[in-house]
Amino acid sequence: MTSPAQPKVGDPLVLPYSRIVGQATLQLALEISYVEPAVGGVLATGQRGTAKSTTVRAFGRMVSGRLPVTLPIGATEDRIVGGWSVEDLVDGRTVWKAGLLEEVGGEKEPGTTDEAGGRKIPGMLYIDEVNLLEDHLVNIILDAAATGILTVQRDGVKKENVKVAFNLVGTMNPEEGSLRPQLLDRFGLVIPVRAASEANLRSQVLTEVLDFEQQVIELGGKVGALYRDDNKRYLQLENARQRLDDVAVPPGIIEIAGRIAELFDVEGHRGELAMLRAARALAAIRNSPAITPKLLAEVTPMALIHRRATSDSGRLRSWSIEDDSLLAACLGDVAPAAS
Amino acid sequence: MLSCLALDSRLGGVLFIDLRPDLLQRLATWLNDSLAGPDGSHDIVTLGAADTDEDLWWRVSPQNVTPMGFRPTPGPLIDAPGAPPKTIIVPDLARAGLAVTRAATVLIGSWVGVADRHGMHAEWAPGSRWLSACARSDLPRLSPHLLDRFPMRVDARDLSRQPFDPKAVRKCLETAGDEPLMPVLPAPMPVRRWSSQRRPPTLSPEAIDLVTDLIGATTAPHRRDLALARTARAIAAWEVADVVDEDHVRAAARLMGLPVGAADDNAVPTPLPTPQPASAVAEEVVIPQSSNATSASSTATSATAEARSERPEVKPSTVPVAERKPTGAGPSVRLAATALPPGRAALIEPEKTLYPENDDTSIAEYASLRRPWQRVGSPSQRRGTIIGAEPTRQLADIAVVPTMLEAAKFQSVRHHLTIRPSDLRRHRRQPLPDTALVLMIDHSCRRDWNFTAALSPYLRWAYTQRSAVSLIELGHRETEAELRAIRRRLGGTLDPGLDTALGRHPGRATPLAAGLDLAIQEMRLYLRNLPIRPEGSWLVVVSDGRGNIPLEASQRNLRPTAVNRAGIDDAVTVAADAARLPAVRVVILAPPSLAHYRDLPFALADAMGGIVARTEPSHDG
């Protein structure tokens, strides 16, 4: 197991993941999604200037050694599904350039091959300001995400059954409008993000960011050492991935998940599955041999907050103290999961 | 402020409030000269209302090799590796195009920029500095998301007020220009040489605590804390200090128009230094050879933690920036930013005026960074926001970049660059609304009347037609300008702003004439700028006609001492302009029962060439 590559001189830098302050819940959700990709993607929604993008980019850099594949605002369709490489065409060569959905790639599951129908472990496709994404692009992404198959018919080229495996990780500011329910449902976990409110935390944010900027200047761009703690965390997450299959799912825990979903009026069964998968990943991260009601309670808000009934506007209902009480009552003597 | 921005790219940009438009270019030139590369290369990019994604991210340029052709090249927002940073100016942020505001939102202060368009990909660390201007009255309308990208704001009204100088005026008359009346800026600061030879100063634990104290609000975005800290650090760097102390933070807060404390509110603003010829100031700029800084940045965290447990009481300093002595090794550079003090208005109520998004009652345009909602329009429409490109066989509204890129793909195959009909692409545009609803609500007439039912037929019409909708409000308790009417352009009838308006409480002042004036002007703008079809516009006025603020009082924002009938008469006079609007249907929605002045709604309707509609009295409050 090796650490991801370090940034080279001139590469765009982001704050190391291990130096992010005050975003523990978002970090936990990203880690859960990495350890158990079947959970689905992560959506961070919250007010401006709360380091949502920084956290996601830092996480992507930690686990892959490069910045995450990003679908930027204003991207065109050809860059999403693929198209001719314009630079090559200008020089008279015909080279197909894979789109971002293919570029995300994903890892092959160990011991499997494409021919044997082996599936891929989904990669991470980061969509910055996901609620500003154009509707027709959302449709393309939804189709590919739902089927795992990308079909391209453009510029005289037909590519069928291109396997794609990606988890969406999005950040958005709800002041600019909400997401379509279909897209919201593609995110396994949703985290409402707030700015750190305690003075001590705010000071710590400042210290970490300014120290990092200073150290980058001092090291003249040779910044590998600044990411040492990231590598440690990465190895811990890799170990958690290895342990994932060994985490036991006690029979009663599935019933509890079902009861919770019923209690919060969750449609369909994706909610229970997301809860159980997230709890299993959390158990692997915490080195717990089995899913416990407490672990289940901890992941419930992030797995269900967007799956509860809401108004037509799509505005997320916040997770309240009453929701905590309901959850606690459902779990008996289990402590509340969120405040 | 500009010196700080020049020194630290992470500060991103500065927003000037009420800046004279012609000064922005001068400030940009100054900043750009400070940022210029060793060969003096520099680049100022101006963005505005007409810029589209095609202009900003990737372009096509002619190539100077055989065979001649075109090649995709990075647009102005993509920073080339090793190139000196650009200065990007947006002369009016409130009127900048959607593509510009969205680009600003994703690039300013970001660690990474990414562009993926038309088969091209780029990823870079944004280093461009953004300078933008905006009128104070427009500020609350802007998206808080966009405003967040400009934590550094300057009240620039005073920059426009130069002392009267008859000699300068005479010189202007002789030269046929206005250069002599322009404020003189100091010599550019050579940032490149300066920053390459010094390590940035470290923030002391006390300075960090003061930053969080000054920003104060527990919900304020971290970007503002960071901007204040970075500005303080830049000030300390220019002063050759090794450590950023509390005075640097206070100086930075004054530059940003943030309140520094009670004692400081009475302090004299940093004086505007006497303008000096560029050459004279340039001699003061001395580059230090080395720094004897010893404070290791890695110790800052632990030191901060220790100091935090015994945080000293915040005692604002009244030492002006200009009087501060350098605290570090080497000679200091006089901070050019002191030439740009915050205006006097900033000292009165600085945070509120410069940071309207802090105020929960301010209402920004709803979802202003999103593409406009879908409307049905003629396929041949040639106006409206560009939302992409599509194949075409006609030469109208050609999208140049996609067309050239399409042709460029095949230039080698065709042996030279030829644009064939199959290459033609035109802009795919968001259709413009062809109907309009201007709704003027006088809340002061709604004492016991719920007018939502009376409005609903017009709102339903506007919804089904996907009309352009404007709301003019007056006479409610929640307004800060009770003598004036406030205009808001809504995203449609589903805009939450409309819902908010329907729930307001009546106030006492009724600036009806000002409201009608604004409503008529708004309708006129719609008729001029949109392809409004005949009978496709409604001007709906909810009022009992009892204006009590004369037009002049509203215009001057002065409470009248005696009104009599002036408020009513002015309203009727202004209303007459509506009758001259072509094909606009006017309706006055009046309360069901009026104890006094029952004829006023009819007088208004007569003047406007409209009708009065009255609903049955409702008993639901």
The CATH number of the domain where A268 resides is what? 1.10.8.80
**Are A32 and A154 found together in one domain?**
yes
Least confident stretch, B5-14, B80-89, B181-190, B557-566: B181-190
Q: Does A70 touch chain B (CB under 8 A)?
A: yes
Q: Total domain count for chain A?
A: 2
- Reference B54, options A37, A74, A56; nearest CA is A74
- Residue ranges, CATH 3.40.50.410, chain B: 436-614
CATH of the domain at A142: 3.40.50.300
Return the structure tokens found at B122. Answer: 């780029």
The answer to whether the Cβ–Cβ distance between A47 and B200 falls below 8 Å is no
**Are A171 and A36 found together in one domain?**
yes
Q: Does the pLDDT value for residue B495 go beyond 80?
A: yes
Any idea what DSSP says for residue A21?
Answer: -
- d(CA B542, CA B549) in angstroms, rounded, equals 17
Q: Looking at A131, A164, A193, which one is the last position of a domain? A: A193
- Reference A259, options A326, A191, A318, A317; nearest CA is A326
Burial class (CB in 10 A: 0-12, 13-18, 19+), B26: middle
Nearest chain A residue to B372, by CA: A134
Q: Does A90 touch chain B (CB under 8 A)?
A: yes
Please indicate, yes or no, if residue A316 is contained in any of the structural domains.
yes
Nearest chain B residue to A198, by CA: B218
Instruction: Give the strand order in the sheet containing B13-17.
Output: B44-46, B87-90, B129-134, B13-17, B152-155
**Are A189 and A263 found together in one domain?**
no
- Residues of chain A contacting residue B410, judged by C-beta atoms under 8 Å apart: 89
Residue B87, number of CB atoms within 10 A of its CB: 27
Place of tokens 């995203």: B491
**Tell me: the pLDDT tens digits for B273-302?**
333 333 333 333 332 333 333 333 333 333
Q: Which residues contact A23 (CB under 8 A, 6 or more apart)?
A: A50, A51, A52, A55, A193
Burial class (CB in 10 A: 0-12, 13-18, 19+), B179: exposed
pLDDT tier, B349 (very low <50, low <70, confident <90, very high otherwise): very low
**Tell me: the pLDDT tens digits for A154-170?**
767 788 788 888 888 99
Q: Which runs of E-coded beta strand occur in A157-287? A: 157-163, 166-172, 187-193
- Our CA-based measurement puts residue B567 at a distance from the nearest CA of chain A, in whole angstroms, of 38
pLDDT > 90: percent of chain B: 14
Nearest chain B residue to A69, by CA: B114
pLDDT given for residue A3 in this prediction: 67
ipTM (interface predicted TM): 0.75
**Tell me: the pLDDT tens digits for A4-42?**
667 766 678 889 999 998 899 999 999 999 999 888 889
Of B112, B202, B405, the CB nearest to A57: B112
- Residue ranges, CATH 3.40.50.300, chain B: 2-271+323-356
pLDDT given for residue B606 in this prediction: 92
**Tell me: the pLDDT tens digits for B56-109?**
888 877 766 655 667 788 888 998 887 778 899 998 888 888 889 989 988 998
Q: Does the pLDDT value for residue B309 go beyond 70?
A: no
pLDDT given for residue B401 in this prediction: 78
Nearest chain B residue to A71, by CA: B116
Mode of pairing for the β-strands spanning B486-490 and B468-474 = antiparallel
Please indicate, yes or no, if residue A221 is contained in any of the structural domains.
no
pLDDT tier, B267 (very low <50, low <70, confident <90, very high otherwise): very low
Beta bridge partners of B61: B71
Q: Does the pLDDT value for residue B348 go beyond 70?
A: no
pLDDT given for residue B382 in this prediction: 59
Q: How many CA atoms lie within 13 A of B234 on its CB side?
A: 26
Of B102, B117, B124, the CB nearest to A79: B117
Of B57, B63, B112, the CB nearest to A67: B112
Q: Does A196 touch chain B (CB under 8 A)?
A: yes
Greatest pairwise CA separation for chain B in angstroms = 86
Q: Does B423 touch chain A (CB under 8 A)?
A: no
Please indicate, yes or no, if residue A207 is contained in any of the structural domains.
no
3-state secondary structure of A58: helix
pLDDT tier, A287 (very low <50, low <70, confident <90, very high otherwise): very high
The answer to whether the Cβ–Cβ distance between B102 and A74 falls below 8 Å is yes
Q: Does the pLDDT value for residue B316 go beyond 60?
A: no
- Our CA-based measurement puts residue B119 at a distance from the nearest CA of chain A, in whole angstroms, of 6
Q: Is A259 a catalytic residue?
A: no
Beta bridge partners of A126: A70, A169
pLDDT > 70: percent of chain B: 72
**Are A169 and A26 found together in one domain?**
yes
Please indicate, yes or no, if residue A302 is contained in any of the structural domains.
yes
Q: Does B222 touch chain A (CB under 8 A)?
A: yes
Nearest chain A residue to B423, by CA: A155
Phi, psi of B312 (to 5 degrees): -75, 155
Please indicate, yes or no, if residue A111 is contained in any of the structural domains.
yes
pLDDT given for residue A48 in this prediction: 78
pLDDT given for residue B195 in this prediction: 57
Angle at the Cα of A99 from the Cα atoms of A84 and B122, rounded to 5 degrees: 85
Least confident stretch, A69-78, B324-333, B560-569: B324-333
3-state secondary structure of A191: strand
pLDDT given for residue B289 in this prediction: 31
Nearest chain B residue to A201, by CA: B212
Q: Does the pLDDT value for residue B47 go beyond 80?
A: yes
**Are A174 and A278 found together in one domain?**
no
Phi, psi of B26 (to 5 degrees): -65, -40
H or E element that contains A201: helix A199-218
Burial class (CB in 10 A: 0-12, 13-18, 19+), B476: buried
Mode of pairing for the β-strands spanning A120-121 and A107-108 = antiparallel
Which residues 36-75 of B are in CB contact (within 8 Å) with A?
Answer: 53, 56-57, 63, 69-72
pLDDT given for residue B475 in this prediction: 92
Residue A201, number of CB atoms within 10 A of its CB: 16
Please indicate, yes or no, if residue A7 is contained in any of the structural domains.
no
Q: How many CA atoms lie within 13 A of A81 on its CB side?
A: 26
Q: Does the pLDDT value for residue B347 go beyond 70?
A: no
The answer to whether the Cβ–Cβ distance between A73 and B106 falls below 8 Å is yes
Return the structure tokens found at A278. Answer: 């997230």
The answer to whether the Cβ–Cβ distance between A175 and B143 falls below 8 Å is yes
Q: From the candidates B108, B297, B413, which should be mutated to test the interface with A, based on the most A CB atoms within 10 A?
A: B297
Contact A187, A304 (CB under 8 A): no
pLDDT given for residue B370 in this prediction: 66
pLDDT given for residue B35 in this prediction: 78
Q: Looking at A178, A193, A208, which one is the last position of a domain? A: A193
The answer to whether the Cβ–Cβ distance between A211 and B105 falls below 8 Å is no
Q: Does A84 touch chain B (CB under 8 A)?
A: yes
**Are A138 and A256 found together in one domain?**
no
Q: Does A214 touch chain B (CB under 8 A)?
A: yes
Nearest chain B residue to A175, by CA: B367
**Tell me: the pLDDT tens digits for A113-144?**
555 445 556 788 999 888 888 777 887 887 78
Q: Which residues contact B582 (CB under 8 A, 6 or more apart)?
A: B527
**Tell me: the pLDDT tens digits for B464-491?**
888 999 999 999 988 878 888 988 888 8
Question: Mean pLDDT highest for which of A281-295, B238-252, B370-384, B512-526?
Answer: A281-295
- Our CA-based measurement puts residue B224 at a distance from the nearest CA of chain A, in whole angstroms, of 8
Helix locations, B312-399, DSSP H:
344-348, 350-354
Catalytic residue among A79, A180, A270, A308: A270
**Tell me: the pLDDT tens digits for B208-230?**
888 888 887 655 678 888 999 99
Return the structure tokens found at A262. Answer: 């019923």
What is the 3 state secondary structure string of B86-145? CEEEECCHHHCCHHHHHHHHHHCCCCCEEEEECCEEEEECCCCEEEEEECHHHHHHCCHH
pLDDT tier, A106 (very low <50, low <70, confident <90, very high otherwise): low
> What dihedral angle (degrees, nearest 10) is formed by the CA atoms of B106, B152, B336, B29?
40
pLDDT given for residue A116 in this prediction: 47
Residue A311, number of CB atoms within 10 A of its CB: 9
- Our CA-based measurement puts residue B237 at a distance from the nearest CA of chain A, in whole angstroms, of 12
Contact A166, A124 (CB under 8 A): yes
Burial class (CB in 10 A: 0-12, 13-18, 19+), B279: exposed
Q: What is the mean pLDDT of residues B164-172?
A: 72
Helix locations, B431-511, DSSP H:
452-465, 496-502
Q: Looking at A175, A193, A211, which one is the last position of a domain? A: A193
Angle at the Cα of A129 from the Cα atoms of A128 and A135, rounded to 5 degrees: 110
Interface A:B, Cβ pairs < 8 A: 198
Please indicate, yes or no, if residue A205 is contained in any of the structural domains.
no
pLDDT given for residue A337 in this prediction: 43
Phi, psi of B63 (to 5 degrees): -105, 145
pLDDT given for residue A119 in this prediction: 52
The answer to whether the Cβ–Cβ distance between B304 and A72 falls below 8 Å is no
The CATH-assigned architecture of domain B2-271+323-356 is: 3-Layer(aba) Sandwich (3.40)
Least confident stretch, A52-66, B22-36, B223-237, B405-419: B405-419
The CATH-assigned architecture of domain B436-614 is: 3-Layer(aba) Sandwich (3.40)
The answer to whether the Cβ–Cβ distance between A208 and B105 falls below 8 Å is no
**Tell me: the pLDDT tens digits for A79-103?**
888 887 877 777 777 788 888 888 8
Give the domain extent around A38: 17-193
- d(CA B359, CA B612) in angstroms, rounded, equals 38
Q: Does B239 touch chain A (CB under 8 A)?
A: no
What is the 3 state secondary structure string of A252-294? HHHHHHHHHHHHCCCCCCHHHHHHHHHHHHHHHHCCCCECCHH
**Are A65 and A142 found together in one domain?**
yes
**Are A189 and A251 found together in one domain?**
no
pLDDT given for residue B556 in this prediction: 77
Residue type, A142: L
Better pLDDT: B601 or B404? B601
- Residues of chain B contacting residue A50, judged by C-beta atoms under 8 Å apart: 221-222
- Residues of chain A contacting residue B221, judged by C-beta atoms under 8 Å apart: 47-50, 195
**Are A36 and A165 found together in one domain?**
yes
Assign residue B120 a region: left if phi > 0, alpha if psi is -120 to 50, beta otherwise?
beta
Q: Does the pLDDT value for residue A335 go beyond 50?
A: no
Nearest chain A residue to B214, by CA: A199
Return the structure tokens found at A267. Answer: 């449609």
Q: Does B145 touch chain A (CB under 8 A)?
A: yes
Return the structure tokens found at A307. Answer: 């799956």
pLDDT given for residue B510 in this prediction: 92
pLDDT given for residue B140 in this prediction: 79
Q: Does the pLDDT value for residue B332 go beyond 60?
A: no
Q: From the candidates B70, B106, B114, which should be mutated to test the interface with A, based on the most A CB atoms within 10 A?
A: B114
- d(CA B540, CA B592) in angstroms, rounded, equals 16
pLDDT given for residue B79 in this prediction: 87
Q: Does A180 touch chain B (CB under 8 A)?
A: no
What is the 3 state secondary structure string of B28-79? HHHHHHHHCCCCCCCCEEECCCCCCHHHHCEEEEEECCCCCEEEEEECCCCC
Q: From the candidates A20, A47, A73, A179, which should be mutated to test the interface with B, based on the most B CB atoms within 10 A?
A: A73
The full length of chain B comes to 621
Buried b (16+ CB within 10 A) or exposed e, B237-261: bbbbbbbbbbbbbbbbbbbbbbbbb
